[in-house]
Structure 1
Amino acid sequence: MQRILIWDLPTRVFHWTLASCFAVAWFTSEGDRWLAIHVFAGYLMLGLAGFRLAWGFVGSHFSRFSNFWFSPKVALRYVRDVLQRRAERYIGHNPAGSAAIYLLLVMVLALGASGVLALGGDEQHGIAADWFSFDQIQLIKQVHVLLAKVMMLVVV
């Protein structure tokens, strides 16, 4: 049997660095003691998402978005076929995996944006300092926490 390299080194490094940053951000989310580490992990996740968006257009064959773009209808049909144990096999991402990747990229960007806004309002640090009222910041922080929990569900 011939082995085929599917995931190139930049994609693998991206994946495991993003997963590690999410774990660090998750475990440093409580209390001011870990805030600097939490913020660093969050900014790194934003940078990684930017890299992956660019790599999705210029990277190797299996890393390009054009190689794993499936409609939501196809993704749902694939999930149904998996449950019925008759799913087609794919080299690279299957339709459900493709949908998860797009969802995770959007979530990382939304999580990062809400984190930047919350940090600016709550800690008066960063580009968003003084942009929002106290009540608005509390809402943004709740959205940030909710997004993190939903992302954990998607990851697991």
Structure 2
Amino acid sequence: MSDQFIEPNELLQAQVQPHSRDDVQDSQLHVWDVPTRVFHWLLVASFIAAYVSNWLGVSYFTYHLWSGYFVVILVGFRILWGVFGTHHARFANFVRHPVESLRYAKALLTNKVKSYPGHNPLGALMVLLLLLVMLVQAVTGLFANDEIFNAGPLYGYVSHDFSLALTGLHKELFYWILAAVAVHVSAVLFYVFVKRENLVKAMVTGKKPRRGFENARSIKSSRVWLALFLIVLVSGALAGIIVAAPEAVLDMGY
């Protein structure tokens, strides 16, 4: 009986055999679908566009208005996606009881907090807050006016005085949104540099390392066709409301 001789270079190749594609995929948890990621970055871009177009003055009112349309459509889509979307995008799978959110906040102070594959309890609250204030901000803008030349497309539905009240709220909410965004960005940077959890990369690639989330569900499909249908649905509803609205003619009271 003789032993089989193995060449040293063959042994070395066996030890450094690269991982198979399946092994690499199994090491990654697919959390964020394509529609959720696209929504996130488009909302950021729309908010910036709305601010810049407003800062540039009344000549850019049309651009400001279209930025508002995009925000309404995007937030309306995200609300529906929170019901019909993929696993980690659904509100039912990341919005938690306030008590759990409080416990998470306390644990965060002691650095003994557990990680979540999707939004953590505090992140979930921030998502809900941003969706709410940005929706109210965009919708009030549809009724607003600048008391000079321009009025929102739904101005004709309300009195001039009520439009002014909504205009004031529209302006005031901007600072609340700015504060919420600052908190959100600070929290993301904290997770990236302190907790070493790259949330920005995850919102770009849609994936997180599976280690620590062995029992978490990895989504199999982004349901892009469903997302497109919901976008068309929300866009059509908004367009119908705007087309049916009375003509927006400023009533200055004289």
Using structure 1 for the length normalisation, give the TM-score: 0.90
Number of the residue aligned with 1:128: 155
1:53 equivalent among 52, 75, 79:
79
Return the structure number with greater relative CO, CA threshold 8 A, min gap 6: 2
Using structure 2 for the length normalisation, give the TM-score: 0.57
Match of 2:72, as an amino acid? L
Runs of 4+ in 1 over 6 A off after TM superposition: none
1:137 equivalent among 145, 153, 163:
163
Within a 5 Å distance, the mapping from 1:52-91 to structure 2 comes to 52-91=78-117
Larger radius of gyration: 2
Match of 1:56, as an amino acid? G
Matched, 1:8 2:39: no
Question: Closer, same or farther in 2 for the Cα pair 1:125/1:104, shift >3 Å?
Answer: closer
Q: Do 2:43 and 2:74's aligned partners in 1 also have CA atoms closer than 8 Å? A: yes
Higher normalized helix content (fraction of residues): 1
Number of the residue aligned with 2:173: 147
Q: Compute the RMSD of aligned alpha carbons.
A: 2.0
Q: Do 1:118 and 1:140's aligned partners in 2 also have CA atoms closer than 8 Å? A: yes
In structure 2, C-alpha distance between the alignment counterparts of 1:77 and 1:119, rounded to whole Å: 44
Question: Closer, same or farther in 2 for the Cα pair 1:8/1:130, shift >3 Å?
Answer: closer
Give the unaligned 5+ runs of structure 1. Answer: none
2:140 equivalent among 89, 95, 114:
114
Give the unaligned 5+ runs of structure 2. Answer: 1-23, 183-254
Q: SS of 1:56's equivalent?
A: helix
Number of the residue aligned with 2:47: 22
Q: Do 1:7 and 1:62's aligned partners in 2 also have CA atoms closer than 8 Å? A: yes
Matched length: 155
Q: Which range is displaced more, 63-72 or 123-132?
A: 123-132
